[in-house]
Amino acid sequence: FPRPNLPNNAYTFPFSQPTREDYGLGRYDHTISSEDTFYGRYAVDDTEQTNPVAYPQFKFLRNSRSQHAVASEIHIFSPALLNTARFSFSRNNALTGSLNPFTGPQYSFIQGRPLGTISVAGLNIMQPSTPSQQLRNVLTWSDDIFYTVGRHSLKFGTLINRYDDLNFTATNINGTMNFASVATFLTGQPTSYNAITPGSNLNKDYRFMTFGFYLQDDLDRKSTRLNSS
């Protein structure tokens, strides 16, 4: 715990919060024939940020990468019939971690792990952040058909999504000790201790799909006026 440098046993410390973001986008268009056109697009966004926490010894690290790719083909069967097919893939990968300088058996609540969280009533929680990852992959297929017949403009198609969510959360992987007061903290008498059992599976995977279908008819209601003389 840092020594107070402000009145009333408070303290302050300077910090920097560097942030970086790189974004890229590319697109390709190609006319295959008078009936077929194709386009593809890819976008990527990388970010990185370092955040301070309540104590200057620790820093909270964030970084992410988002990617999106799509390919589409338009085919003209006739002046009255048009089809558009698409496929896309998206991936969002967000990572968090920490800089924890307190490692070794004199600091560990769990063997082989760095210092965990210390909660003392009346003081800010000393909470080194723990690593986590949130990864989502989305695959999308869609097809839209446009057909004109008489007074009817028909539109119908489908949209299919597949989601893969892969999460890693290490809450309490380093352990947490709670103390009722500064006195019990100084004498090493915690009121509670929480930790994940070593060897636990920290990965959570979710996979599911969605299916959508639609049919739309735009009717052109033309009226005929009869004039008589």
Length of the chain: 229
CB 65 within 8 A of CB 23: no
> Using CA atoms, how far apart are residues 148 and 51, in angstroms rounded to an integer?
57
Torsion angle (degrees, nearest 10) of CA 97, 102, 106, 109: -20
CB 59 within 8 A of CB 18: no
- Strands ordered across the beta sheet of 152-169: 19-31, 36-52, 59-78, 81-99, 132-149, 152-169, 203-219
- Chain centroid to Cα 9, Å, comes to 40
Q: What are 145-191's pLDDT values in tens digits?
A: 999 888 888 999 999 999 999 998 887 888 999 999 999 999 999 99
Nearest to 70 by CA among 11, 27, 99: 27
Torsion angle (degrees, nearest 10) of CA 172, 173, 174, 176: 20
Cβ neighbours for 131, distance < 8 A, ≥ 6 positions apart = 95, 96, 97, 98, 168, 170, 173
Task: Give the pLDDT score at 223.
Answer: 45
Would you tell me how many other CB atoms lie within 10 Å of the CB of residue 111?
7
Task: Give the pLDDT score at 229.
Answer: 45
Cα 93 to Cα 115, 191, 202: the distances in Å are 27, 38, 17
Question: What sign results for the dihedral spanned by CA atoms 33, 34, 36, 42?
Answer: positive
DSSP 114: -
Rounded to two decimals, the pTM is 0.76
Task: Give the pLDDT score at 222.
Answer: 66
Task: Give the pLDDT score at 47.
Answer: 95
Q: What are 1-47's pLDDT values in tens digits?
A: 788 899 988 888 888 889 999 999 999 999 999 899 999 999 999 99
Residue 221 reports pLDDT greater than 80: no
One-letter amino acid of 106? Q
Q: What are 58-97's pLDDT values in tens digits?
A: 888 899 999 999 999 999 999 889 999 999 999 999 998 8
Q: Where on the phi/psi map is residue 54: left (φ > 0), alpha (ψ -120 to 50), or beta? A: alpha
Cβ neighbours for 212, distance < 8 A, ≥ 6 positions apart = 158, 159, 160
